[in-house]
Structure 1
Amino acid sequence: MTPQEMRARIVRYGELQPCKTAFIDAHTPGSDQKENFTIIGGGVSESADQHVHITDTPGFNIGAAGQPPKCRNSLHSHRTAEVFFVLSGRWRFFWGRWGTAGEVVLEEGDIINIPTGIFRGFENIGTDYGMIMAILGGDDAGGGVIWAPQVIEDAQAHGLVLGQNGKLYDTKAGQALPDDVRPMPTLTEAELAAFPEPTAAQVIPRHVARYRDLMGLAGRAPAQVIGAQGVLKDKPGFEVDFLNGAAPAEGQVTSGRNDVLMVMRGHWRLTWAEGTQTLAPGDTCAVPPGLTYTLAPSMSGEAAVFRVRDTDDAAGPTWQG
Structure 2
Amino acid sequence: MTPQDMETRIVRYGDLHPCKTAFIDAHTPGSDQKENFTIIGGGVSESPDQHVHIAIPHGFNIGAAGQPPKCRNSLHSHRTAEVFFVLKGRWRFFWGQHGTAGEVVLEEGDIINIPTGIFRGFENIGTDYGMIMAILGGDDAGGGVIWAPHVIVDAQEHGLVLGDNGKLYDSKKGQRLPDGVNPMPLLTPQELAGYPEPSAADVVPGYVARYWDMMAMADPAPVVVIGETGMLRDKPGFEVAFMNRNSADEAMHSHDRPSVLMPMRGHWKVNWDGGSATLAPGDTMSVPADLMHNAIPAMTGEASLFHIIATDDAAGATWTG
TM over 0.5: yes
Instruction: Give, as a single letter, the amino acid of the residue that structure 1 aligns with 2:77.
Output: S
Any stretches of 5+ residues in structure 1 without a counterpart?
A: none
CA distance in 2, matches of 1:234, 1:56: 25
Match of 1:2 in 2: 2
Match of 2:49 in 1: 49
Instruction: Give, as a single letter, the amino acid of the residue that structure 1 aligns with 2:178.
Output: P
Instruction: Give, as a single letter, the amino acid of the residue that structure 2 aligns with 1:69.
Output: P
Match of 1:203 in 2: 203
Q: Structure 1 stretch 255-264 or stretch 84-93: which is displaced more? A: 255-264
CA distance in 2, matches of 1:258, 1:69: 35
**Alignment identity in percent?**
73
Q: Please say if residues 218 and 242 of structure 2, whose CA atoms lie closer than 8 Å, have aligned partners that are also in contact.
A: yes
Match of 1:36 in 2: 36
CA distance in 1, matches of 2:302, 2:4: 29
CA distance in 1, matches of 2:224, 2:253: 15
For this pair of structures, how many residues does the alignment match? 321
Q: Provide the secondary structure at the position in 2 that maps to 1:241.
A: strand
Give per-residue Cα distances to partners, 1:251-275, cap 9 Å, x unaligned. Answer: 2221212210011110000001210
Instruction: Give, as a single letter, the amino acid of the residue that structure 1 aligns with 2:89.
Output: G
Match of 1:243 in 2: 243
TM alignment of 1:153-172, pairs within 5 A: 153-172=153-172
How much has 1:196 moved relative to structure 2? 0.3
TM-score, length of structure 2 as denominator length:
0.99
Match of 2:176 in 1: 176
How much has 1:250 moved relative to structure 2? 5.6
Q: Provide the secondary structure at the position in 1 that maps to 2:254.
A: coil
Instruction: Give, as a single letter, the amino acid of the residue that structure 2 aligns with 1:223.
Output: V
CA distance in 2, matches of 1:249, 1:166: 44
Any stretches of 5+ residues in structure 2 without a counterpart?
A: none
Q: Please say if residues 246 and 302 of structure 1, whose CA atoms lie closer than 8 Å, have aligned partners that are also in contact.
A: no
Q: Please say if residues 222 and 247 of structure 2, whose CA atoms lie closer than 8 Å, have aligned partners that are also in contact.
A: no
Q: Please say if residues 110 and 211 of structure 2, whose CA atoms lie closer than 8 Å, have aligned partners that are also in contact.
A: yes
Q: Please say if residues 249 and 294 of structure 2, whose CA atoms lie closer than 8 Å, have aligned partners that are also in contact.
A: no
Match of 2:287 in 1: 287
Q: Provide the secondary structure at the position in 2 that maps to 1:93.
A: strand
How much has 1:64 moved relative to structure 2? 0.1
Q: Provide the secondary structure at the position in 2 that maps to 1:230.
A: coil
How much has 1:34 moved relative to structure 2? 0.4
Q: Please say if residues 215 and 244 of structure 1, whose CA atoms lie closer than 8 Å, have aligned partners that are also in contact.
A: yes
Match of 1:230 in 2: 230
Match of 2:86 in 1: 86
Q: Provide the secondary structure at the position in 2 that maps to 1:212.
A: helix
Q: Please say if residues 220 and 250 of structure 1, whose CA atoms lie closer than 8 Å, have aligned partners that are also in contact.
A: no
Match of 2:118 in 1: 118
Instruction: Give, as a single letter, the amino acid of the residue that structure 2 aligns with 1:145.
Output: V
Match of 2:133 in 1: 133
CA distance in 1, matches of 2:276, 2:313: 32
CA distance in 1, matches of 2:144, 2:248: 37
Instruction: Give, as a single letter, the amino acid of the residue that structure 2 aligns with 1:105.
Output: V
Match of 2:188 in 1: 188
Q: Provide the secondary structure at the position in 2 that maps to 1:6.
A: helix
Instruction: Give, as a single letter, the amino acid of the residue that structure 1 aligns with 2:91.
Output: W
Q: Provide the secondary structure at the position in 2 that maps to 1:154.
A: helix
Instruction: Give, as a single letter, the amino acid of the residue that structure 2 aligns with 1:269.
Output: K
CA distance in 1, matches of 2:186, 2:217: 44
CA distance in 1, matches of 2:103, 2:51: 31
CA distance in 1, matches of 2:66, 2:303: 22
- Pairwise CA RMSD of aligned residues? 0.7
CA distance in 2, matches of 1:57, 1:129: 30
Match of 1:76 in 2: 76
CA distance in 1, matches of 2:122, 2:282: 20
Instruction: Give, as a single letter, the amino acid of the residue that structure 2 aligns with 1:59.
Output: G
TM-score, length of structure 1 as denominator length:
0.99
